[in-house]
Amino acid sequence: MKKALILAAGLGKRLGNLTKDIPKCLLPVGEQTLIDFSLEALKENGVKEIIIVSGFAHENLKAHIEKKWTEKFSFKFIFNDKFKEYNNIYSAYLAKDYLDDETILLNSDIIFHPEILRSLKLQTETRHCEERERRSNLLNVLEIASATPRNDMQPKSYLVIDDKKQLTDESMKVITNSKCEIKEINKNLDIKKSFGEYIGITYLKGFERVQFLESLENLVKTGKLDLYYEDALACVLKEISVFSCSTEGKPWTEIDTQEDYNFAKKIAQEIKTISIKK
């Protein structure tokens, strides 16, 4: 995971005057902003390049980044001039050429402990090492000419899921199979049947990434611009293998309302306290 794509074009209407002049990701939480927490976590986990899709209050966001972060990352900004009309599926579509096998996708209106990202990184690296060893063992048994890669030997894709918290109607819920492959994602899923909540961090590789991007493009080109990028993913989940990566109970939250924002401030303090203890 060398790059991160951050979607930050939205208006944040439900927060009223709090986001009158700034995007949600610039909301202060403690001594930092939301996006500062995300960038700090990305830096701690070795990410070097950041692509940001901005829209509302674009100049404010860009100024903040240039003032505080340009010495730590290489940045690319993509401006979504349809941020008032379209949902975040369009932001993801605008950045589709930058979503490669080394890139993670993040929502900008979340705050999360850096260890959540570390767990994702370790899981992808562990899978990679395991599959490389299995491939090597296979080729020792079979002739190279007759050995064909199997789907279960490909690098794995993940959504980060909170499988501990109590779900609500607003939760972006997921349903998994016995292998922890995610097969459905939607806010409208039955809470009792759901495995957990998607927190807004995605890592797609290979076939899964290609299928997601094709789904994204199909929906945008057919005018489904009121949807979320999660809807593009939902369209192909039954045909691909995307696994759950647990938050393992570590703190995080999404910010949509004043209540969420108040909770985010508590999360920020909790993250700071945990970091100090380490």
Q: What is the pLDDT of residue 140?
A: 46
**Encoded tokens for 89:** 């599926």
Q: Classify domain 3-277 at the CATH topology level.
A: Spore Coat Polysaccharide Biosynthesis Protein SpsA; Chain A (3.90.550)
Q: What is the pLDDT of residue 275?
A: 62
pTM for the full model? Answer: 0.89
DSSP output for 46-86: T--EEEEEEBTBHHHHHHHHHHHTTTT-EEEEEE-TTTTTS
User: CA 209 to CA 126: how far, in whole Å?
Assistant: 19
Classify residue 206 by burial, with Cβ atoms within 10 Å: 0-12, 13-18, 19+.
middle
The phi, psi pair for 82, rounded to 5°, reads -110, 25
The phi, psi pair for 8, rounded to 5°, reads -140, 40
**Encoded tokens for 221:** 């080109």
User: CA 201 to CA 106: how far, in whole Å?
Assistant: 5
With residue 33 as reference, give the H or E element that holds it. Answer: strand 32-33
Q: pLDDT digit of tens for each residue in the chain (278 aa)?
A: 899 999 999 999 999 999 999 999 999 998 899 999 999 999 999 999 999 999 999 999 999 999 999 999 999 999 999 999 999 999 999 999 999 999 999 999 999 999 999 999 998 886 544 444 444 454 444 444 444 344 455 569 999 999 999 999 999 999 999 999 999 999 999 999 999 999 999 999 999 999 999 999 999 999 999 999 999 999 999 999 999 999 999 999 999 999 999 999 999 998 877 665 55
Q: What is the pLDDT of residue 74?
A: 98
Check: CB of residue 15 under 8 Å from CB of residue 61: no
With residue 220 as reference, give the H or E element that holds it. Answer: helix 206-221
Plot region of 98 (φ>0 → left; ψ -120 to 50 → alpha; else → beta): alpha
Q: What is the pLDDT of residue 128?
A: 45
